[in-house]
Homo-oligomer: A and B are copies of this chain.
């Protein structure tokens, strides 16, 4: 951030009174521009036979890899609505959103990811513009080697374990930065 979104003048980094970290502050109108983490909301859409809906990404990052439908939460919606909207956009699929299943903290990219269990309502799904393919996978069919992101892997691993035990346990997990390649 270099310029004030309110008046267009340059901003500078400095510590506001009674604050504990530097902020971008306008040199003319003194507006303080806070920057905060963003929420990714997504779903684990489960069909009646237990298979899970995954999307193969048509966009970077991780183009060509498989993921659960998820994306940036928008202003004016709830976390549940965001998970359902992302599933509709990425997979043209309708779901009933059930309980919150996992929360991932990714402080190194300023994100909190929220994954909800969900009931897939029909089989009339197809790739949205951000997906190459959309497909149902049984537990023994999950493309473990071509999953897009670590939280997707963790979520699916725990989901199948918990489902087998008949007890879904919410997990709040901190994710470390990826090792350099």
A→B interface (CB under 8 Å): 1-11, 18, 20-21, 33-39, 72-81, 89, 99-100, 103, 105, 107-108, 110, 112, 129-130, 170, 172, 174
Contact = CB atoms under 8 A, between A and B. Distances in A.
Given A21-B74, A36-B72, A77-B107, A4 B6 contact: no
A37 B75 contact: yes
Contact of A103 (B2, B5, B100): B100
A147 B5 CA distance: 35
Given A3-B3, A3-B7, A20-B89, A107 B78 contact: yes
Main secondary structure on chain A at its contact with chain B? Answer: loop
Contact of A8 (B2, B37, B100, B108): B2
